[in-house]
Copies of this chain bind each other. A is one copy, B any other.
Amino acid sequence: MTSSMGHDELELVDSWWRAANYLSVGQIYLRSNPLLREPLKAEHTKSRLLGHWGTTPGLNFVYAHLNRVIRRDSAEMLFVAGPGHGGPAVVANAWLEGTYSEIYGHVGNDADGMAELFRQFSYPGGIPSHAAPETPGSISEGGELGYSLAHAYGSVLDNPQLVTAVVIGDGEAETGPLAASWHSHNFLDPAADGAVLPILHLNGYKIANPTILARMPEEQLEQLLRGYGHEPYFVTVKDPDNTEQAHRDFAEALDRSLAGIRAIQESRRAPAAGTDGAADVDGAPRWPMIVLRSPKGWTGPRIVDGLPVEGTWRSHQVPLSEVRTNGEHLKQLEEWLQSYRPAELFDGDGRLRPDVAGAAPAGSLRMSATPHANGGLLRKALKLPAYRDHAVEVPEPGTDRVSPMITLGSWMRDVISLNMETFRLFGPDETASNRLQNVYEVTDKVWQYRIDDVDEHLARSGRVMEVLSEHLCQGWLEGYLLTGRHGVFSCYEAFIHIVDSMFNQHAKWLKVHRQLPWRQPVPSLNYLLSSHVWQQDHNGFSHQDPGFIDHAVNKKAEVIRVYLPADANTLLCVMAHCLASTDYVNIVVSGKQPSPTWLGPADAANHCRRGLGIWDFAGSEVPGEEPDVVMACAGDVPTVETVAAAELLKEGAPGLKVRVVNVVDLMRLQDESEHPHGLPARDFDGIFTADKPIIFAYHGYPALIHRLAYRRNNQDGLHVRGYKEEGTTTTPFDMAMLNGIDRFQLAIDAIDRVPGLAERHSSLRQSLQDRRMRAREHTRTHGEDPEEIRNWTLG
């Protein structure tokens, strides 16, 4: 390639690169003498060397080049550092751009600040070695690999002016989520969305192994990237010393890539202007990308102790590991640092010299200062449609049957209509399966490849993102949220575990983010889980896992919210609340089949505001007296069974005082010292009593209720029924019976736990047992219709 960059510009980019490299090495090694004003001594170095050099010079190289085009074009760009342990690089660039000192006053832009910058890195109480919430300009935690490309795509949706440059490590490229992410451009509308520029960084090695993409034949790699739908530009650093050639090659590739992006965008945004430069294949453009093949640990020590280091896995962490005790290592470190000519870069006070500083873009165009990486700055509250307009009337509790998800779908349709540029719905091919199909009245699913006549609701642009990858749904949504927009991830309940680990990282991100005053609140991550454990007529045991809630509540209480609305109106209320919230992870579980409506519009709103409450209509209490037993429930199917159980008890044991409690907001069960939503002890005792038996029918694994309530006075009285990993392809009522959460069992539980009741009502108990057995038998022989079964058992 020929250069598109003048000599001065090249010098400037190289100076920036050297400065960033210098600061990166300094972070890993130095505790004092940051400018090398005196000869380097062992005591200037850290006694423990932590950190990772290998990926850093490549990240710095790319960053320096991006700055050149940002300045030239006044381009809005966001930088996503995919490789693990890229922290020193991103931090170094943020410091050079001044952003770091603006945000963290104690790390000034002078020699003292530089010393503090070095000291804090990978130090107790300091900063991590990955890009993290603490890192200015970052939206992607670098600790767990594989999500950078999905995050990048999420960031540019509905951001037509933004180009997100994402450096993909060849290590992380081996992960499944990253491998799937290459197809994301099929879900990107060139007209209304921004663009992603993937920069695949082949430095050849992971911790201890070569990487697949770096070692496959180059011809095969090119086939692969073209197969992903990209136009790859290869930049190969053959001679590590010839940095001038590397600069010229990369600048050329970057200019071509950006020109290619612009051409695609222009052709799609103003079709009359022609398709100049954009290769349009069956509707999907071939987006440019860059492959940068450069030595791992580039510009670091070439040989250490006689072994090759630069360009090998040996430069993954700390190339010179004995600088405190080995004079030769110390000497090599000093030479290495001096090779960047720090005196040319920093003045006597340790400040970046103005000519070098000129390599940075201005103000919010600096990638470390872009508001896109601090999405709360750009967040606009959603316009939410009135709940009342979508709530269903409930003439009598438990009489009408409505699909909560269909009801919600209508409301979501209006959410979409009102927020056409700031809201999206993500899901793995399940939006309609989860009964949210009403949204298609106003929008479509995004798709850039060929669209056929038989396809429905498929279009070049739309608000619904469907791909058969929970990882992509989650990754896109995270990128979308962290850049200030709103969304919902609708998923089969069992398979949300596929993103357990991504959830972990996002919840951890939010925990730290909330502690950083400069980070503004971002919209909550909303999970809407349907097709849940109790409704598996089509599927079965593999589709039965309500444990995501258990997984989630291990994260910080201030971040986690869990809702189990029992019917259509409560689902509406809960979702309206979640979509208005910030900085949480909200988990909402709801069935999709028609199921009883319990609370009218006003009652549902009140019930959700309280988070839990006594359902007088379902119980048989005597005003002013304590109940004999509390029948509690959380979740739609448990609620149906609990209300039916209370009915069975009312009929069979007249005079028994049964209280029915329904829980919407699961975190109300925790003590107020454990969770912000926790119910004060007195209120809890008022509802659940201090000593009466509680029969609790819970949607998920029973242990969770014990866990949440373990500080409660009536913990000993608590008897929980829930899913216990018994199931197959069967009817909902059979599922309830298999797991002992059915109405008969719940009523029997109550009889067994209220003192004296089993003796007084032994025939009732026997009759319930008999009816239970008959119901089971009936299901196995005639049980094709769940409604029929349910009605039969009620009768």
Residues of A within 8 A of B (CB): 46-48, 50-52, 122-130, 132, 141-146, 171-172, 174-183, 186, 206-212, 215-217, 220-229, 281-282, 284, 308, 312-314, 317, 429-433, 445, 447, 449-450, 452, 454-456, 458, 466-472, 494-495, 497-498, 500-501, 504-505, 508, 511-512, 537-543, 545, 547, 550-551, 554-556, 701, 703, 706-707, 710, 725, 728-731, 734, 779-780, 783-785
Interface centre among A284, A554, A728 (most CB of B within 10 A): A554
Which residues of B lie under 8 Å from residue A504 when comparing CB positions?
494, 497, 545, 547
Taken together as a complex, chains A and B put the C-alpha atoms of A176 and B471 apart, in Å, by: 7
A458 touches B209 (CB 8 A): yes
Min CB gap A398→B, angstroms: 24
Q: Are A183 and B174 in contact (CB under 8 A)?
A: yes
A143→B227 contact, CB < 8 A: no
Minimum C-beta distance from A138 to chain B (A):
12
In the complex, chain B residues whose CB is within 8 Å of the CB of A206: 429, 468
A327 to B172, CA, bound (A): 56
Least distance between A515 CB and chain B CB atoms (Å): 11
Contact indicator B538/A50 (Cβ below 8 Å): yes
**Distance of A761 from chain B, by nearest CB (Å):** 26
- CB-based contact A508/B128 at 8 Å: no
List the B residue with the shortest CB-CB distance to A429.
B206
Q: Shortest beta-carbon distance, A699 to chain B, in Å?
A: 13
When the two chains form their complex, are residues A130 and B207 in contact, meaning their CB atoms are under 8 A apart? no
Q: What is the distance, in angstroms, from A211's C-beta to the closest C-beta of chain B?
A: 8
Distance, CA A213 to CA B221, complexed state (A): 18
The CA of A591 and the CA of B707, in the complex, are separated in Å by: 28
- This chain: how many copies in the complex? 2
Alpha-carbon distance between A215 and B187 when the two chains are bound, in angstroms: 13
Task: List chain B residues, Cβ under 8 A from A48.
Answer: 537, 784-785
Closest 3 CB pairs of A and B: A143-B542, A224-B227, A176-B176
Asked if residues B224 and A212 are in contact (CB atoms below 8 Å), the reply is no
If A183-B212, A449-B210, A540-B130 touch, whether A725 touches B508 (CB-CB below 8 Å) is yes
Question: Which one, B128, B472, B505, B511, contacts A725 given CB within 8 A?
Answer: B511
Tell me if B175 and A500 are in contact (CB < 8 A): no
Contact of A449 among B180, B207, B212, B284 (CB under 8 A): B212
- Closest-by-CB residue of B relative to A182 is B179
Q: Closest Cβ of chain B: how far from A283's Cβ, in Å?
A: 9
State the Cβ distance, A567 to closest chain B Cβ, in Å: 24
A542 touching B141 in the complex, CB below 8 Å, given contacts A125-B728, A221-B227: yes
How far is it, in angstroms, between the C-alpha of A272 and the C-alpha of B706 when the chains are bound? 68
A-B contact pairs, 20 of them (CB 8 A): A50-B538, A123-B784, A126-B728, A128-B729, A143-B539, A144-B495, A146-B176, A172-B468, A175-B468, A176-B181, A206-B468, A208-B431, A209-B458, A210-B455, A220-B229, A222-B227, A497-B501, A500-B551, A504-B545, A511-B725
Which residue, of A127, A207, A216, A730, has the highest number of chain B Cβ atoms within 10 A? A216
Partner of A171, one of B179, B181, B429: B429
Q: Which single residue of chain B is at the shortest CB-CB distance from A500?
A: B500
**A146 CA to B470 CA, complexed, in Å:** 11
Task: Point out the residues of chain B lying under 8 angstroms from A541, CB to CB.
Answer: 128, 132, 143, 508, 512
Chain B residues with Cβ under 8 A from A545's Cβ?
A: 504, 554
| Minimum distance in angstroms from A83 CB to a CB of chain B | 11
**Residue numbers in B under 8 Å from A780 (CB-CB):** 124-125
Q: Which residue of A430, A456, A707, A728 has the most chain B CB atoms within 10 A of its CB atom?
A: A728
Contacts known (A143-B541, A706-B707, A784-B48); A725 close to B556, Cβ less than 8 A: yes
Residue in A701, A725, A779 with the greatest tally of chain B CB atoms within 10 Å: A725
What is the CB-to-nearest-CB distance from A297 to chain B, in angstroms, rounded to a whole number? Answer: 12
Q: Does B284 lie within 8 Å of A468, measured CB to CB?
A: no
Contacts of A217 in B (CB 8 A): 281-282
Measured between beta carbons, the chain B residues less than 8 angstroms from A126 are: 728-729
Contact between A129 and B725 (Cβ–Cβ < 8 Å)? no
Contact of A210 among B224, B229, B447, B469 (CB under 8 A): B447
A209 lies within 8 A of B550 (CB): no
Q: A227-B226, A227-B227, A449-B210 are in contact. Are A176 and B175 (CB under 8 A)?
A: yes
B215→A308 contact, CB < 8 A: no
A226 B215 Cβ-Cβ under 8 A: no
A212 CB contact (under 8 Å) in B50, B144, B186, B728: B186
**Measured between alpha carbons, how far is A652 from B681 in the docked complex, in Å?**
37
Can you add 19 more A-B contacts, CB < 8 Å, to A176-B178, A208-B433, A703-B707?
A: A123-B729, A123-B730, A126-B729, A144-B495, A175-B176, A176-B176, A176-B472, A179-B179, A210-B447, A215-B450, A223-B227, A226-B227, A497-B551, A498-B500, A500-B551, A508-B541, A508-B542, A512-B541, A547-B554
CB neighbours of A220 from chain B (8 A): 226-227, 229, 281
Indicate if the CB atoms of A176 and B179 lie closer than 8 Å: yes
A314 and B456 alpha carbons, distance in the complex (Å): 11
**Contact call A466/B124, Cβ cutoff below 8 A:** no
> Are the CB atoms of B180 and A175 closer together than 8 Å?
yes
| A132 close to B542 (CB less than 8 A) | yes
What residues of chain B lie closer than 8 Å to A734, measured between beta carbons? 124-125
Kindly provide the distance from the CB of A506 to the nearest chain B CB, expressed in whole angstroms. Answer: 11
Q: How far is the CA of A469 from the CA of B703 in the complex (A)?
A: 32
Tell which of B144, B146, B729 touches A127, judged by Cβ atoms closer than 8 Å: B729
**Which residue of B is nearest A179, CB measured?**
B179
> Hey, which chain B residues are within 8 Å of A52, CB to CB?
538
Are the C-beta atoms of A229 and B209 separated by less than 8 Å? no
Identify the closest chain B residue to A218 (Cβ): B282
Bound Cα distance from A429 to B706, whole angstroms: 39
Shortest distance from the beta carbon of A585 to any chain B beta carbon, whole Å: 13
A579 to chain B, nearest CB (A): 24
